[in-house]
Structure 1
Amino acid sequence: MYFGACYYPEHWPEERWEKDAKLMYEARFNVIRLAEFAWGKLEPSEGEFDFSWLDRAMNVMRQYGIKFVLGTPTAGPPKWLMDRYDAYQRDLNGQVRGFGTRKHYCMNHPDFHRCTERIVTQMAQHYGALTDVLGWQIDNEFGVCDTARCYCDHCLQAFKVWLQQKYDTIDAVNEAWGTVFSSQMYRSWDELHLPTYSVHPHHSPGLAIDYRRFASDSIVDYQRLQLQILRKYAPSHLITTNTMGKFNQLDHYDLNKELDLCALDVYPNMKSDPKARPSYMAEQLDITRGFKGGQNFWITEHQSGSPGAVVLYPTPVPGEIRRWTYQSIAHGADAIMYFRFRTLPYSIENLWHGILQHHGEPGRKFEEVKQIGQELEQLAPLLAGTSPQAKVAMIRCFDNEWSLELQPHMEGYEYIKHFETYYNYFYDRGITVDIVSPEASFGHYELLVAPNLMMAKDETVQSLYRYVEEGGCLIMDFRSGAKEMSNQITQKRLPGAFRDLLGIGIEDYGIIEASQQIGMRDLKSGEVSAAKKWYEVIDILDLDSAAQPIAVYTDGYYRDTPAATRRAHGKGCAVYIGTAPDQDGLYRLLDQLVEETRVKTDFAHLPDGVEAVIRKEAGAGGRELLFIINHSFSEVSVPLSSGYRDVWTNQAVSGPIELAAQDIRVLLLSS
């Protein structure tokens, strides 16, 4: 287990470094992250390098047993570089993203690529053989602050090459995008353009989604440029990049494919609803674990103070840093690096608070972090080799998320918010979830949820059919199969490629206006809940194994027709929900489906605000750690079966346990 913080020696007088190192040692730190924004200090003029200050800082830290994660500094290119090569991004209106912040460079600028190769090579040659460098973080938060997409001439030329490789002929582009509409046909590659704003802000959905895919691939290619250098000169070091779990400016599955591990930057107090913060945090952690198929990850920036640039978000109250930290570890974090060690007194992050306040003296947050460090010394050996083990998975698909951003279908509709209605059910029921790519292997999951899977590659469609035939339970919902990968609406009868799997046809569909009262009756319980946002009129197909209604509409011209169906198919079942039920209705349906599968939880009836998560060693008889986290600000009593031992007191634990406000217990299952 790695435990530490982000530290920027270039921000502080050199005589201060020793004091900071002593404080880190006192807090049981064993790692710091360095240098990801230090390009201007490392290469103050083109081709002139100065690593001496960073070497001295690392020498101070290593005397206290601290190891390093080094950042390639490409997220903050210096002024001399940006001005000399005009490497600035252009926005949708062709305006230059000026200097003064970060991430203002173009991913496809050839001179910027050359400068990147030079600084990364110099750093990798200088530090690549050091055994106390654990690994590298490439760049910083690709895509953050809407910086994934540039609209300059370099990007236009690169986009044309990308399209030529994908489609081969301009006629194929015209066919995929449907350019016959409104005389938008292209006669040659030279006529292609970017989806920039003109008089009308909307572009062909085919052009728009391909540009998002191209921009994502450009980031992956730019990362690969750095990755290859680091692999050459630092072959024994781990390589990652830090992501923001829910950000969708790029396809994070592609981004993480060639990396050694995933990393996350997480700030739960930036969520506006305090009651939603624990599930929001859990979701980000599970999303990150899914970027490499359920693999544990690092947290390269973990909230340690109030975030903010021009306004402040809530300050973590006493006990909150500890609570967030253990939630992160429970969900698979094998490294915690707080952002930041000391709060900066100047520039645009002078309101982004760290462990130490601006004055640099230890206070109550430092004491809390020190307590965590002491506890982790005991816990770390038990964590080795353990990870969350899920029997449920949810498919998050960036293509579908982008498509619904471009054409949301309903006023204010967001793919990720709909996705979260399912995620929150599993969180509330204490059921661990993996969040996976459409290209993942699904066979070991008992239950699989695929929200709004409008478009899917043939391989994914075949994989979902096979998953159900071999015994899995698949849940799909409205708009499934409605689009081709080109972002064209399918000309097949809905639900398109999934029609034979689900055993249904969609006769009609439409939005449910906010003023409408449309009910949905659960046929098992008889309970009526509200159908929201969208309806689909479902026909049952005449197949050998017919779908069965499990809920029907109570209102509208489609009254008494199925709102949700279940079809037994092969050894498994395929469920379809043709609307967006309110929480009671959705939870009732999901409770029934969980009950009929082998998905089990011992934590379905926890007190409000309490989370229970298991990290387990793979294999029969593997070590099992139970994390019980009280996210509430009240004392709670938690029911518990016998057979556990407290990892910090080594005392046996059975029956109900009492947790103080914001308290945590970590229990080892007795063998």
Structure 2
Amino acid sequence: MPETTPRGLTGLAFGGDYNPEQWPESVWDEDVRLMREAGVTMVSAGIFSWALLEPSPGVYDFGWLDRNLDLLHEGGIRVDLGTPTVVPPAWFYRAHPDALPVTADGVRLEFGSRGAICHSNADYRAAAANITTKLAERYGDHPALAMWHVHNEYGVPVSACYCDSCAAHFRRWLATAYGTVEAVNEAWGTAFWGQRYASFEEINPPRAAPTVGNPAQALDYRRFADATMRENFTAERDILHRLSPGVPVTTNFMTALSQCDSVDYWAWGREVDLVTNDHYLITDGRRTHVNLAMAADLTRSVAGGAPWLLLEHSTSGVNWQPRNPAKAPGQMARNSLAHVARGSEGAMFFQWRQSRRGAEKFHSAMLPHGGTGTRVFREVTGLGASLRSLAPVRGTRTEADVAVLWDWQSWWAQNLDWRPSEDHDARERADAWYEALYDHHLTVDFAHPEADLSRYPLVVVPALYLMTERAGDNLRQYVENGGTLVVSYFSGIVDAHDAVHEGPYPGALRDVLGLTVEEFSPLLQGERVRLTGPDGTETGADVWTEFVVPRGAETVWTYADGLTEGRPAVTRHRLGEGAAWYVSTRLGAEGLAALIGRAAEDARIAPRADLPRDVEVVRRTGESGAFLFAINHTAADAEVPLDTPGTELLTGERAAGRLAVPAGAVRVVRLDG
């Protein structure tokens, strides 16, 4: 089995992307000295350096990297060494212009940024394999090498290419997946609009057409593009495993649902030795710490619950949003330790030294333009000390209370054209339901719809438009065996080929929910409806309503107005030993909070009303013990109940009964016993 932890790293990882090629060698000694001062334990290097390593075809210059890796090793700093295949050199594109990707509109993108790659291109694949081989042969047993970092952020900014090479590759992929063109016709429903194919040679990518194309074809092309990138990753990974045995291989994911929608991370998580993730706050006025927690929980879930690693985030502001505010004092450490609480084995940044040139020169860094006298560098040094204190948590696992079902392929399908309402957004619903669970102080695992759910008392389905019969059976068995299920609208509608399940909506979920839906009735922009509960209380909703017909389910909330007035809005169905709830409209925060409270009662989850809002409490446990993380995102001091006494690792103080958590601070208690 491949190694799954960075080689030679005994504590938590702390550091960032290091790009020494941007600086004269006279700066390198200072870099290592300051890294040691800040407590850096590992850096990521070489990710964008192909043009320097191979300045012309077949001519290599490894001298500068040799000297830099040796210097890092002398300083006791481990290296996550990149294969630089995200940016081939300019000479490569001059020789192979057809390796540049083509958009669905037929525009060939140009060299001059990053990630301009046709992943089907044979010349790119050969060149990538060659530079990876050269690196592995030279550095596979270097004493500084901790792990390998293949490519960079697959799917960003280009995932799919629509060129002729991709067309030919797509046909081969379809032939492997379906066997015959008749099977493709059946899966895609090509009888509609006369799109039937007589041979694979007639099939092209879903390029720009006069109007909306075949949604099943578009969905399969998303799968094909994702699989093609994954083929290239595994090709590099296998070279590294062969030439550098015992060193883990990874690539950095971007699981935050708002940042990358082209990669099926359930599939990718099975291919890397260690799951790593990049996370950047989207500062749009919302509670950014909730999205951070969600991204961390999702990354841990992609890792199968195992420890993972935050490979990039920012010390302060980023550079690519319309407005890029700085992080408040203390926020960087709080963000970093929130990731650690939810399973990360450290906190890495982009990048070590802030660039003076290029597109990201205003992106914050561990060593800012202002140098060591800045607030950011002082906070970086403080964080390094904190992470040293938290070394005992390494190898432990985060404990989850509930599960949320998520599937990237369902998201792809729902986002295709001509759905009942463009206001319904699967990601928005996932965010909203997660936030409701977060506010009930429940730690979340994400799960694939076909995964084993038996260990969770409560499972939430925010938006799963595409659901297989197998997934539907899985949820029915879960409820029959005593689980509590909550399902939001427009779920269970189509199968894996975007074909509506036979019979009434909601297809794969009819039996478990004990109802049918006669018709969707999306609302116009700005329209709202009122819902009435059994005790006469009201709540509001928008975007979506449905004509629900109970088939064994009981009505809990009723539509009080609109086209669906008097009809069930929220139902509950007893099935076997459990219960399944259905929500046929888009509830606001108040309604979601009430519903999660009711469902949690069904699931016999004890309420946690003694925890203040925006104070996270998360546990990690393992052979080294049990650790309670308390993270205060508020401007007021807080107290957290502590059932078991222990030692607070960041201050060294004893804690019992009530744990004091100052405003904006983090406390981590190693529990006794």
Could you say which residue in structure 1 is the equivalent of 2:178? 167
Could you say which residue in structure 2 is the equivalent of 1:272? 284
Residue 309 of structure 1 deviates from its aligned partner by 4.6
Are residue 488 (structure 1) and residue 499 (structure 2) matched? yes
In structure 2, give the amino acid aligned to 1:533. V
Structure 2 CA distance for aligned equivalents of residues 223 and 229 of structure 1: 10
Contact 1:643 1:652 in 2 (8 A): no
Could you say which residue in structure 1 is the equivalent of 2:269? 256
Residue 459 of structure 1 deviates from its aligned partner by 3.0
Residue 462 of structure 1 deviates from its aligned partner by 2.5
Q: Is the alpha carbon distance of 1:461 and 1:309 closer, same or farther for their aligned partners in structure 2, counting shifts above 3 Å?
A: closer
The Cα offsets for residues 73-126 of structure 1, whole Å up to 9 and x where unpaired, read as 000110111221121001121111101100001110011100011001111111
Could you say which residue in structure 2 is the equivalent of 1:609? 614
In structure 2, give the amino acid aligned to 1:3. F
Could you say which residue in structure 1 is the equivalent of 2:589? 583
In structure 2, give the amino acid aligned to 1:303. S
Structure 2 CA distance for aligned equivalents of residues 655 and 392 of structure 1: 26
The Cα offsets for residues 3-50 of structure 1, whole Å up to 9 and x where unpaired, read as 112111111111211111011111111111100111111111111222
Contact 1:89 1:105 in 2 (8 A): yes
In structure 1, give the amino acid aligned to 2:536. G
Contact 1:6 1:340 in 2 (8 A): yes
Residue 612 of structure 1 deviates from its aligned partner by 2.0
The Cα offsets for residues 393-436 of structure 1, whole Å up to 9 and x where unpaired, read as 11111121111111442133321011111100111111100112
Identity across the alignment (%)? 32
In structure 1, give the amino acid aligned to 2:279. V
Match of 1:195 among 206, 216, 226: 206
Could you say which residue in structure 1 is the equivalent of 2:89? 78
Could you say which residue in structure 1 is the equivalent of 2:344? 333
Contact 2:188 2:217 in 1 (8 A): yes
The Cα offsets for residues 429-482 of structure 1, whole Å up to 9 and x where unpaired, read as 111001122232211111111222222233322322222222211111222221
Residue 656 of structure 1 deviates from its aligned partner by 4.8
Bigger Cα displacement from structure 2, 564-573 vs 359-368: 359-368
In structure 2, give the amino acid aligned to 1:613. V
Residue 601 of structure 1 deviates from its aligned partner by 5.7
Counterparts of 1:492-641 in structure 2, within 5 Å, are 492-523=503-534, 525-541=535-551, 546-600=552-606, 602=608, 604-617=609-622, 623-632=625-634, 634-641=635-642
Structure 2 CA distance for aligned equivalents of residues 503 and 476 of structure 1: 12
| Residue ranges of structure 2 left out of the alignment (5+ in a row) | 1-11
SS at match of 2:543: strand
SS at match of 2:597: helix
The Cα offsets for residues 365-406 of structure 1, whole Å up to 9 and x where unpaired, read as 11111111112222212x023221112011111121111111
Could you say which residue in structure 2 is the equivalent of 1:52? 63
Structure 1 CA distance for aligned equivalents of residues 209 and 84 of structure 2: 35
In structure 1, give the amino acid aligned to 2:153. E
Contact 1:396 1:438 in 2 (8 A): yes
CA RMSD of aligned residues (A): 1.9
Counterparts of 1:407-426 in structure 2, within 5 Å, are 407=417, 408-426=419-437
Could you say which residue in structure 1 is the equivalent of 2:651? 649
Could you say which residue in structure 1 is the equivalent of 2:6? none
Structure 1 CA distance for aligned equivalents of residues 273 and 469 of structure 2: 28
Contact 2:275 2:303 in 1 (8 A): yes
Residue 259 of structure 1 deviates from its aligned partner by 0.9
Residue 508 of structure 1 deviates from its aligned partner by 2.2
Structure 2 CA distance for aligned equivalents of residues 100 and 312 of structure 1: 24
Are residue 139 (structure 1) and residue 151 (structure 2) matched? yes
In structure 2, give the amino acid aligned to 1:250. V
Contact 1:455 1:480 in 2 (8 A): yes
Contact 2:627 2:669 in 1 (8 A): yes
Contact 1:637 1:656 in 2 (8 A): no
Structure 1 CA distance for aligned equivalents of residues 473 and 343 of structure 2: 30
TM-score, normalised to structure 1's length? 0.94
Counterparts of 1:14-33 in structure 2, within 5 Å, are 14-33=25-44
Contact 2:579 2:602 in 1 (8 A): no
Contact 2:132 2:236 in 1 (8 A): yes
Match of 1:89 among 98, 101, 110: 101
SS at match of 1:134: strand
Contact 1:92 1:151 in 2 (8 A): yes
Contact 2:411 2:464 in 1 (8 A): no
In structure 1, give the amino acid aligned to 2:152. N
Match of 1:397 among 394, 400, 407: 407
Structure 2 CA distance for aligned equivalents of residues 278 and 451 of structure 1: 20
Contact 2:632 2:638 in 1 (8 A): no
Contact 1:306 1:312 in 2 (8 A): no
Structure 1 CA distance for aligned equivalents of residues 277 and 657 of structure 2: 36
Are residue 670 (structure 1) and residue 669 (structure 2) matched? no
Contact 1:495 1:506 in 2 (8 A): yes
SS at match of 1:453: coil
| Residue ranges of structure 1 left out of the alignment (5+ in a row) | none
Structure 2 CA distance for aligned equivalents of residues 557 and 73 of structure 1: 57
Q: Is the alpha carbon distance of 1:651 and 1:357 closer, same or farther for their aligned partners in structure 2, counting shifts above 3 Å?
A: closer
In structure 2, give the amino acid aligned to 1:366. F
Q: Is the alpha carbon distance of 1:222 and 1:43 closer, same or farther for their aligned partners in structure 2, counting shifts above 3 Å?
A: same
The Cα offsets for residues 475-494 of structure 1, whole Å up to 9 and x where unpaired, read as 11222221121112233212
Q: Is the alpha carbon distance of 1:253 and 1:278 closer, same or farther for their aligned partners in structure 2, counting shifts above 3 Å?
A: same
SS at match of 1:92: coil
Contact 1:312 1:351 in 2 (8 A): no
Could you say which residue in structure 1 is the equivalent of 2:231? 221
Residue 331 of structure 1 deviates from its aligned partner by 1.1
In structure 2, give the amino acid aligned to 1:614. R
Residue 228 of structure 1 deviates from its aligned partner by 0.9
TM-score, normalised to structure 2's length? 0.94
Counterparts of 1:2-401 in structure 2, within 5 Å, are 2-86=13-97, 87-145=99-157, 147-200=158-211, 202-245=212-255, 246=257, 247-268=260-281, 270-273=282-285, 275-309=286-320, 313-358=324-369, 360-381=371-392, 383-401=393-411
Bigger Cα displacement from structure 2, 510-519 vs 7-16: 510-519
In structure 2, give the amino acid aligned to 1:62. H
